[in-house]
Chains A and B, each alone.
Chain A
Amino acid sequence: MGGRYGDGAIQPASINDKNFKEKWHSRALAVTLATGSLKQWNLDMSRHARECLPPKDYCAFSYYDKWISALANLLVNKGVISADEFLDPIRKTHPLSSRKLLAADVAGVLSKGAPTSRSVDSPPKFLVGQRVKTRRAVNKFISGGHTRLPKYVEKCEGKIEIYHGAHVFPDTHAHNLGEQPEHLYTVSFLASELWESPENPSDTLCVDIWESYLEPMNVP
């Protein structure tokens, strides 16, 4: 939605409101994180599941509503539970229950995280400072599939700002096609390259971009 027109003013909050706005928000977060321990999907799959909500629901649902609705779909689509159980829960121990996240393990799981950096044999194709151009923002493996190249920077020219080493590639990882790590860069774009009438043409946008989203610029 980056760059989209029509959204209204931002409603900043009080600086200190750190608690959950509604109690169910905290339950939604906790259920989502806890089910991750069942290891039936990865982070990219759960992001993709949220994007797969019907567009009318995606636009209408609040943030945590997207999370739990996508989680419901993942649970059924991965065969963990059946949709009937939403309406009529059954008391029967599940084969995956041995993987259940226990209270004693929460601190360890949350503080460990899941780093996505990987080592790869091939050297990075681009150098810091090099001019590059983005490709179209589409998944090259699966039509309509998950990608992390925002639409507003597709087919745009920018400059390699930072090299981050290789990271898990979401376009494959979201579709169970493996991690296929790729070199990751921060690419900077001038506002004048992205927008018809920028507030200030020399403002910049920095976007993290995997190597296969990029092509070199022809050196004149």
Chain B
Amino acid sequence: MPHDVEKHSHSLLPSDPELKVKALETALVKRGLIDPAALDEIIDTYQNKIGPKNGATIIAKALLDKNFKKALIDDPMQILEKHGFLGRQGEHIKVVENTPEIHNIVVCTLCSCYPWPLLGIPPTWYKSDEYRSRVVREPRKCLSEFGVTLPKNTKVRVWDSTAEIRYLVLPILPDKYKDFDEEHLSEIISRDAMIGTALIGDPS
């Protein structure tokens, strides 16, 4: 692990993380360095305004409209800007399409990079050591833990988000959902399907 010689002042804070963040917040508020109202606003944004619904909206559209899909794959940023889905950790988005030949899965082994403006707060499992360490080496076994089994001749392609490019999976649309309209389809496209650890309609 890369390591500069620096002071580890964090050990002076209470070890209980709840008290730790409280102590830090108090110290910063007293110096006028943070505004509690701004903190509430940030939390409200990620709790109520940004979530997997954003990603599902554009993925549903792409699954039903070939031209839109092509445009989304060729130049995603222009489309995301139109939908108002730009933001931190989504500055450079790339959409990767699942096909019968290739199944895509996204991870960040170095930290836990994630397309926040499209999927919201990353789930605990995405940030876990178990997922980050194992999915690059044994993706099929990991998928089975999500209840997903791929056809034998489908190759797995794992995307490790080591730079600032954030990947979003365009899942396969099963035949039984082909008549769904955009809105209904977007409701069954799960967050996990856009990370690659679920399929559309997967009840996991």
Chain A residues within CB distance 8 Å of chain B: 1-5, 7-13, 15, 17-24, 26-31, 33-35, 38, 47-55, 57-58, 61-65, 68-73, 75-77, 80-81, 83, 85-87, 89-94, 96-97, 100-103, 105-107, 109-117, 139, 142, 144-150, 152, 162, 164, 167-168, 170, 175, 184, 186, 188, 194-195, 198-200, 202-210
What separation, in Å, do the CA atoms of A24 and B25 have in the docked complex? Answer: 11
| Choice from A31, A51, A117 contacting B39 with Cβ under 8 Å | A31
- B31 A53 Cβ-Cβ under 8 A: no
- B123 A17 Cβ-Cβ under 8 A: yes
- B145 A10 Cβ-Cβ under 8 A: yes
User: Can you list 13 A-B contacts (CB < 8 A)?
Assistant: A2-B137, A15-B192, A20-B47, A89-B27, A97-B32, A100-B35, A111-B87, A114-B91, A144-B2, A144-B4, A148-B162, A206-B157, A207-B162
For residue B130, CB closer than 8 A to chain A, the reply is yes
- A206 B160 Cβ-Cβ under 8 A: yes
For residue B197, CB closer than 8 A to chain A, the reply is yes
Chain B residues within CB distance 8 Å of chain A: 1-4, 6-13, 17-18, 20-28, 30-35, 37-43, 45-47, 51-52, 84, 86-92, 94, 107, 109-112, 117, 120-121, 123-125, 127-134, 136-142, 145-147, 155-165, 190-192, 197-198, 204
- Residues from chain B with Cβ under 8 Å of A204 in the complex: 155-158
- A18 B120 Cβ-Cβ under 8 A: yes
- Residues from chain B with Cβ under 8 Å of A65 in the complex: 17, 20
Smallest CB–CB gap between A220 and chain B, Å?
Answer: 26
| Choice from A27, A94, A112, A145 contacting B4 with Cβ under 8 Å | A145
What separation, in Å, do the CA atoms of A52 and B3 have in the docked complex? Answer: 5
- Residues from chain B with Cβ under 8 Å of A146 in the complex: 2
- B12 A83 Cβ-Cβ under 8 A: yes
A1 with B132, Cβ < 8 A, contacts A113-B89, A199-B140, A203-B155 known: yes
| Choice from B17, B91, B133, B158 contacting A116 with Cβ under 8 Å | B91
- B27 A86 Cβ-Cβ under 8 A: yes
Smallest CB–CB gap between A205 and chain B, Å?
Answer: 5
- Residues from chain B with Cβ under 8 Å of A52 in the complex: 2-4, 6
- A200 B140 Cβ-Cβ under 8 A: yes
Closest chain A residue to B31, Cβ basis: A94
- A11 B43 Cβ-Cβ under 8 A: no
- B128 A90 Cβ-Cβ under 8 A: no
Smallest CB–CB gap between B150 and chain A, Å?
Answer: 10
Smallest CB–CB gap between A16 and chain B, Å?
Answer: 8
Shortest 4 CB-CB distances between A and B: which pairs? A2-B109, A97-B32, A208-B163, A69-B10
| Choice from B24, B31, B45, B128 contacting A71 with Cβ under 8 Å | B24
- Residues from chain B with Cβ under 8 Å of A51 in the complex: 1-3
- B32 A1 Cβ-Cβ under 8 A: no
- B12 A86 Cβ-Cβ under 8 A: yes
What separation, in Å, do the CA atoms of A35 and B47 have in the docked complex? Answer: 20
- B18 A7 Cβ-Cβ under 8 A: no
What separation, in Å, do the CA atoms of A35 and B42 have in the docked complex? Answer: 12
